[in-house]
Amino acid sequence: MKTILITGASRGIGRSAALLAGERGWSVGVNYTQNRSAADEVVDLVTRSGGRAVAIQGDVAVENDVVAMFDRVEQALGPLDGVVANAGIVGPPQALADMSGERMRRMFEVNVLGAYLCAREAARRLSKSRGGRGGSLVLVSSIAARFGSPFEYVDYAGSKAAVDTLALGLSKELGAEGVRVNSVRPGVTETDIHASGGQPDRAQRVGATTPFGRAGRPEEIAEAIVWLLSDASSYVSGALLDVSGGR
């Protein structure tokens, strides 16, 4: 059985990945930023499905929070086998010319710095030369990195392109350490991140333009994440895996 940490696991794709891991009997660190009740619900569901879980508060953009988060999950559940760097934010649709520096700064703090801090801690905890057992790091990116998201959020798209580059480079750094690093790039997915960006209908609207004619479901993205965490993907590293309905 594996022990994993999932950031941003109280909702959306992170929540679905935690629940699927619980169904496999894995132990799950459920990170959240603000919504403790939602994180507690995920913990309860993971436990009822046969896994173990603990809720861990922390902002991935704050270095001390990230270090404490990793310490807490290992204290509660044991040494880590995998990490999912999933936490991320999006903003309201805007052209770059209209974006404030504050908006862009927060976008990159959470989506880029947060991913890098979590990846650094994963490298420290999982690497065999540092006492780890090896394992898998899954970075949750977006196909926005391919499209650029013009007139919506080029800042978000750029932040996810940085995540892809992190996966490519870090997979080479950690290959000899027994650690696999991959990026999952969801297409438009039915989660509340769209509402947080001021477009609650975006998943349905954009989903209709895909070859499948619909948006993805968070459970479908979770399947790819958990596969990459599992031993079934033992020879997969440095991959950018699009889960986008053919878009």
Give catalytic residues, as residue numbers: 156
Classify residue 129 by burial, with Cβ atoms within 10 Å: 0-12, 13-18, 19+: exposed
Instruction: Report in angstroms the alpha-carbon separations of 83 from 52, 69, 190, 210, 247.
Output: 15, 12, 23, 30, 27
Query: 245 with 203: CB under 8 angstroms?
Result: no
Strands of 240-243's sheet, edge to edge?
Answer: 52-57, 27-32, 3-6, 82-85, 135-140, 179-186, 240-243
Q: How far apart are CA 56 and CA 7, in angstroms?
A: 9
